[in-house]
């Protein structure tokens, strides 16, 4: 079983928890987050991102113990989970992220970032002319 399958199965479960699909905020954490709106799950993404950084820093400073590695994996899992909730809210799927990662595969990160900056600059110049 691939990790893509796991992410897709989780995304399907999250879909069923949407209030519009009958998810009950009193019985489901995901339904509660979605019912509260973007501020709730975006705040969780920020918290989990910070906790991920802190867990990685613990490894940097204390060493790569099994316990600290497990903590980092757990924090990344929390971050991914809450990111999946955000994707679902905005009508996106893990496949959309995978397609973007596949698009970037084999492209230098430095070149890709420079291209994005050039496109952003070009879009800004076009907007100024309008």
Tens of pLDDT, residues 34-86: 999 999 999 999 999 999 999 999 999 999 999 999 999 999 999 999 999 99
* DSSP tag of 130: -
Q: What is the pTM of this model?
A: 0.83
The 3-state DSSP class for residue 68 equals helix
The 3-state DSSP class for residue 43 equals helix
- For the CA atoms of 26, 29, 34, 38, what is the dihedral angle to 10 degrees? 130
Which token pair is 76?
A: 């990344």
Which token pair is 92?
A: 């996106």
The predicted structure's pLDDT at residue 1 = 59
Query: For residue 94, is pLDDT > 80?
Result: yes
């Amino acid at each position: 079983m691939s990790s893509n399958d796991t992410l897709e199965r989780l995304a399907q479960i999250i879909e069923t928890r949407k209030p519009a699909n009958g998810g009950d905020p009193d019985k489901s954490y995901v339904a509660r987050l979605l019912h509260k709106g973007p501020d709730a799950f975006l705040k969780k993404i920020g918290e989990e991102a910070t906790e991920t950084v802190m867990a990685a820093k613990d490894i940097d400073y204390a060493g790569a113990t099994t316990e600290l590695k497990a903590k980092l994996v757990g924090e990344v899992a929390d971050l991914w989970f809450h990111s999946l909730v955000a994707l679902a809210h905005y009508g996106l799927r893990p496949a959309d992220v995978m397609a973007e990662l596949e698009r970037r595969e084999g492209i230098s990160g430095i070149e890709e970032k420079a291209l994005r900056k050039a496109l952003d600059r070009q879009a800004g110049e076009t907007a100024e002319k309008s």
